[in-house]
Structure 1
Amino acid sequence: MVGITDLAQANSETQKRWIRQVVVHEYYTSASSGFDIALLELDQPVRCGYHVQLACLPDATLRVSQLSECFVSGWGARGRPEVTGASSPSALQEAKVRLIDVNLCNSSQWYRAAIKRHSLCAGYPQGGIDTCQGDSGGPLMCREKGANFYWVVGLTSWGRGCARAKRPGIYTSTQHFHEWILHQLGRFCSMGAPTTPPTWSHQHVSHTPVQETMPAPTGSSISGFCCLPVRVLLEFITGVKELLQALSGEKI
């Protein structure tokens, strides 16, 4: 299901798709192995709109550790199931978390070197807020500084309990697997699969939805690539001005 935040209530952009195939990483053995990632091919393209947008994946140039505003989301259990027997909600849940240095998470009083180098650690040292059973595969999203879009930097993978002190959630780092993702997509396209990117629906471009605030986009565009961060665009414009100034000998 795409474009839905409450499983009990669909909206005009809700779309149902079937999974055609699953591509699991060739080195995957378990969630804690460090290769807990897979790609899903849907039976037909997804129509982009106000609630359905493309996600930005970080390559090696992004300094993920410097991103401070991060969120997780999912339909997993609320509370600590081992204590309360919490049930899964029908509405999508979200929570703000902080990236925690993996070296600290791997220390003797935390995870004792159980976290692999392809993983991220996020939550709070004191616990209290965390992903839980049923959230696996969901996104860890961090906002680009000075911009209005988010990077999907991690995928919910594993943890010891839920929301425990010194036991934050462990996430598969999408940055570490960026080349693997591109390689798999290249193989998929070379087999004659459709390469036409999703198109914006008429509803998305024709009017402003009736909501108090516009949610921060996940960096999508008609071409299917992430929108440029504002700082990159400003640097480009400044460079063009300097080039024109040098060519004309006049101040712009």
Structure 2
Amino acid sequence: MNTDFRAGFSGVISGLFFSAVILSHFIILANGDSQIACGQRAVSVKTSQSRIVGGRDAVEGAWPWQVSLQVISKQAHVCGATVISQWWLLSAAHCFPSTNGLNNKSHWRAVMGLRDLSIYSEWTITRKIDALILHEKYNNIQNDIAVLKVDRVIGFGDYIRAACLPKPDKFHIEKWNHCHVTGWGLMEQNGAPTRILQEAGVKLISLETCQQVNWYGSSVTDKMICAGFAGGGIDACQGDSGGPLSCQLKGTERFYVVGVVSWGQGCAQRFKPGVYTSTSIYGDWIEQKTGILISQSEDAGVEFDNGDSGAESLEEKQSVPTPVSYGVEQPISLVRRNSPGRSIPLLNLIIVLYHFCS
């Protein structure tokens, strides 16, 4: 580039303007796009039809809304969760039992941008929990849903993004395809947990089928979703609880968290698929607790501002209720399924601009 810095005032202004444009470009590369749509992945991924129980490692960045909820004192993964905004996570109420004090928000931390539980990448972030809100009518396997507010804004990029939330309504199987469950749960029933995030392609199963006597009978309600296979073999397991059942809305590339990993009888057994809390049924509740305007999304997703000012204005508008807990132990027969670009220092930016413009 043959820029003559000895030009007149107009040339200087033009040069400064051009430099500002280039600077803004580098800032976007450093901090991530300012507007990132929910439910869209930055990486191209051919997802699997393999199992979490004995399954396949997920590709880095394949599920950027996946969260590991960890007990701080043990620094151990306990449950999964889903990023649904820059301030809020979605999980299962049974992950926070009152019997051992885990209904106290101070015991938890949320880790995002994570694939290997033992390796924190440069984009991995950790947040404390500012508010833990369980459904007021949570009881055993009923109303098994919770939302968590983090203590600091979550910056979005290639490896950390929000899943879309379906519009509050009755769940309709025919609207969804390419469903996957993800998590760090056991590789097999009574087996060992995985260190690497696992993914499994699952099939949505109708309520009528799942309510058959030799399946789950009346234990499954219209507030739940069954997903898996009649013959078993593919399923979530303990340690996957609270994580997302992610499905694509037909005709789009967006993933929605249509279910929250909740319960099942054993893991990957015949006629015993995974059972998930239906997020569309609880859309109004999520909206009320978080202030996220799901009902206005028209199932087209929403965009989240990746700037502190936007996040602050959102927080000011939201009234966070006092955290409550209604933890109840589960029956023994049921099994709980318990990118940002690199940071570029200012000096490096100046050096890049100097070389670019000289």
- Mapped to 2, the partners of 1:61 and 1:164 lie a distance apart of 30
Q: Which amino acid aligns with 1:79?
A: E
Q: Contact between 2:261 and 2:274, CA under 8 Å: does it hold in 1? A: yes
User: Residue 196 of structure 1: CA displacement?
Assistant: 4.1
Tell me which of 112, 137, 149 is aligned to 1:41: 149
Is residue 150 of structure 1 aligned with residue 255 of structure 2?
yes
Change (3 A) 1:161 1:140: same
- Mapped to 1, the partners of 2:281 and 2:241 lie a distance apart of 18
Residue number in structure 2 paired with 1:166: 271
- Mapped to 2, the partners of 1:10 and 1:65 lie a distance apart of 37
Relative contact order, CA 8 A, sep 6+: which one is greater?
2
Is residue 8 of structure 1 aligned with residue 118 of structure 2?
yes
User: Residue 135 of structure 1: CA displacement?
Assistant: 0.6
User: Residue 146 of structure 1: CA displacement?
Assistant: 2.9
Whichever structure has more strand as a proportion of its residues is 2
Tell me which of 131, 143, 162 is aligned to 1:54: 162
Q: Which amino acid aligns with 1:8?
A: S
Q: Which amino acid aligns with 2:252?
A: A
Q: Which amino acid aligns with 1:80?
A: Q
Q: Contact between 1:64 and 1:153, CA under 8 Å: does it hold in 2? A: no
**What TM-score, normalized to structure 1?**
0.71
What count of residue pairs does the alignment treat as equivalent? 191
Deviations, residues 181-216 of structure 1 (Å, cap 9, x unaligned) = 1111239xxxxx94448xx85559xxxxxxxxxxxx
- Mapped to 2, the partners of 1:163 and 1:19 lie a distance apart of 32
Residue number in structure 2 paired with 1:65: 173
- Mapped to 2, the partners of 1:13 and 1:100 lie a distance apart of 36
4+ residue runs over 6 A deviation? none
Can you give the 5+ residue segments of structure 1 that lack an aligned partner in the other structure?
Answer: 188-192, 205-252
- Mapped to 1, the partners of 2:162 and 2:313 lie a distance apart of 15
User: Residue 60 of structure 1: CA displacement?
Assistant: 3.7
Superposition CA RMSD, Å: 2.1
Q: Contact between 1:6 and 1:91, CA under 8 Å: does it hold in 2? A: yes
Q: Which amino acid aligns with 1:47?
A: G
Deviations, residues 106-141 of structure 1 (Å, cap 9, x unaligned) = 111111111122100000000000000111101001
- Mapped to 2, the partners of 1:2 and 1:158 lie a distance apart of 23
Q: Which amino acid aligns with 1:166?
A: F
Instruction: Say which one has the larger Rg.
Output: 2
Q: Which amino acid aligns with 2:256?
A: W
Identity %: 38
Matches within 5 A, 1:80-119: 80-81=189-190, 86-119=191-224
- Mapped to 1, the partners of 2:135 and 2:266 lie a distance apart of 25
**What TM-score, normalized to structure 2?**
0.51
